[in-house]
Amino acid sequence: MNISKEQIDDLNAVVKVEITKADYEDKVNDILKNYRKQANIPGFRKGQVPMGLIKKQYGKAVLVDEVNKLLQDNLNKYLTEEKLDVLGNPLPKQQDNFDWDSDTLDFEFELGLAPDFDVKLKTKKAITQYKIVADKKMVDEQVERIQKQYGKIISKDTVEKNSEVTGTFTYSEKEITKTTTVEVDKLKSKKAKDALVGKKVGDTVTLNTKGLFAEDYMLASATGLSNDEVKDLKINLEFTIEEINEREPAELNQELFDKLFGKDNVTSEKEMKDKIKEDSEKQFEQQADQKLLNDVTEKLIDETTFELPAGFLKKWIQFSGEKELTEAEAEEEYEKSEKGLRYQLIEGKIIKDNDLQVQFDELKEFAKGFIKTQMAQYGQLDPKEEELEGIAARVLGNQDEVKRLSEQLMSQKLLDLYKEKANLKAKEVSYENFVKEVYG
């Protein structure tokens, strides 16, 4: 067997494979001999079928199968040994009137090669690195929510400004029949508040959906409609009152602190607020980090320019799937996937240039940290090391989980690298302002 490469240009090459009878003949003959032993053909005793008949019936199929195996094994070996960084997979060139009976079989494969390029982490324009802080207003609102959540529910006869009213929204034309609870003081519409105050159980009031709640998702939840359905919705809902309650806020005392944070971990209102601020900002850090990762990714794609073997990739997309695509469909698929492919190449280059690796020991520690976080959500704040080791071992025994956690850990390594070397400008914002700036 002889394999050679013809370089077309920097991004395209053709690999030529020459296979002779000596490469496959012995293997084909051994397979046909086994076929002969097992063949059950009318008119012949088992194992006594003439070899000529076996070759006539099975020879070509066995030959094609063995040659294809040789091609696959040796082509992959060649690409590895030559350290060719290919995109997609080698595409066999169409050969009309191919003669499988020839003493020498010649095959050609088109290759799309990865481009050679450099990545500059110091982008031309600085990228904003947000630090989201929990301001006093947010902390105070969280304390108020906690006091309400853990407070005492007191039944009332009449709706007041601070009442929680449970009732059913109905609107026959859209088949709305949804029981929900609304906090009167949280309604946006003053007209709706005025309509509810003073009403009793069994009363029905008409509430217009326009401006009823501060956010569309709240109206969607209250009516059972989708977010798209409630956007710009302006209808009169009937709301029949079924229950009226008032929440007496829980006292900020040691019993509440222990219930929220564990025995004696927090001993004063100030410590409670400090803890809420700390926990909130840890959660915000994850959002800020994801925003930074997304922004660096976009900037690197914009500023790292290189050519791709577009013609080859479109052809590969066209012919490599389960169903052959038209040229137009392949072009469309390429346009959709080009940006993602560019970042895969950029990310791979960054990982290689900075020798970023995921070692098993650090993957295990990463998995244990992930497990601890999940256990904490269910109140297990201090799990034993042996318990974590056991759960981590089971998790890492699942290849899908290993892949997922490895990708997460590599993302964290990339994020740490960007924080160290990218062109960043720090900006401290409240969560409210972060949402406005990022999501509009």
Tell whether 181 and 215 lie within a shared domain: yes
Tell whether 178 and 226 lie within a shared domain: yes
Q: Which residues contact 284 (CB under 8 A, 6 or more apart)?
A: 132, 133, 134, 431, 434
Q: What does the pLDDT look like over 191-200, one tens digit per residue?
A: 999 999 999 9
Q: Which amino acid, residue 389?
A: E
Could you tell me which residues are beta bridge partners of residue 17?
Answer: 3, 107
Range of the domain at 386: 264-306+354-439
Looking at the domain assignment, is residue 315 inside a domain? Answer: no
Tell whether 241 and 290 lie within a shared domain: no
Tell whether 239 and 298 lie within a shared domain: no
Q: Which amino acid, residue 334?
A: Y
Please give the pLDDT value at position 107. 95
In the block, tokens 């009516």 appear at 223
User: Side by side, which strands form the sheet with 12-20?
Assistant: 2-9, 12-20, 104-113, 86-92
The helix/strand/coil state of 55 is: helix
> What gap in Å lies between CA 330 and CA 333, rounded to an integer?
5
Please give the pLDDT value at position 381. 66
Tell whether 191 and 100 lie within a shared domain: no
Among 113, 131, 160, where does a domain finish? 113
The separation between CA 140 and the C-alpha centre of its own chain, rounded to angstroms, equals: 34
Contact call for residues 230 and 209 (beta carbons, < 8 A): yes
423-to-110, 125, 128, 416 alpha-carbon distances in Å: 40, 7, 9, 13
In the block, tokens 């929900």 appear at 180
pTM of the model: 0.74
Could you tell me which residues are beta bridge partners of residue 228?
Answer: none
> What gap in Å lies between CA 70 and CA 19, rounded to an integer?
9
Q: Cα–Cα–Cα angle for 85, 90, 95, nearest 5°?
A: 150
Tell whether 282 and 386 lie within a shared domain: yes
| Mean pLDDT of all residues belonging to the chain | 92
Among 66, 88, 113, where does a domain finish? 113
- Indicate which CATH number applies to the domain containing 58: 3.30.70.1050
Element holding 270 (H helix, E strand):
helix 269-303
Looking at the domain assignment, is residue 295 inside a domain? Answer: yes
Tell whether 53 and 21 lie within a shared domain: yes
> What gap in Å lies between CA 356 and CA 116, rounded to an integer?
19
> What gap in Å lies between CA 334 and CA 329, rounded to an integer?
9
Contact call for residues 316 and 88 (beta carbons, < 8 A): yes
Looking at the domain assignment, is residue 285 inside a domain? Answer: yes
Looking at the domain assignment, is residue 385 inside a domain? Answer: yes
Number of domains in the chain: 3
Contact call for residues 34 and 58 (beta carbons, < 8 A): no
Q: How many residues are there in the chain? A: 440
Looking at the domain assignment, is residue 316 inside a domain? Answer: no
Tell whether 28 and 59 lie within a shared domain: yes
Q: Residue 249: how many CB atoms within 10 A of its CB?
A: 14
Looking at the domain assignment, is residue 54 inside a domain? Answer: yes
Q: Residue 60 corresponds to which tokens in the numbers above?
A: 């070509």
- Indicate which CATH number applies to the domain containing 225: 3.10.50
Tell whether 200 and 234 lie within a shared domain: yes
Tell whether 285 and 431 lie within a shared domain: yes
Q: Which residues contact 331 (CB under 8 A, 6 or more apart)?
A: 314
- Segments of the chain scoring below 50 in pLDDT: none
The helix/strand/coil state of 95 is: coil
- Could you tell me what percentage of the chain is helix, strand and coil, using 3-state DSSP and rounding each to the nearest 5? 50, 20, 30
Tell whether 380 and 236 lie within a shared domain: no
Looking at the domain assignment, is residue 125 inside a domain? Answer: no
In the block, tokens 């609304």 appear at 182
Among 58, 93, 113, where does a domain finish? 113
Looking at the domain assignment, is residue 30 inside a domain? Answer: yes
Tell whether 189 and 215 lie within a shared domain: yes
Q: Residue 34 corresponds to which tokens in the numbers above?
A: 């086994």
Please give the pLDDT value at position 235. 94
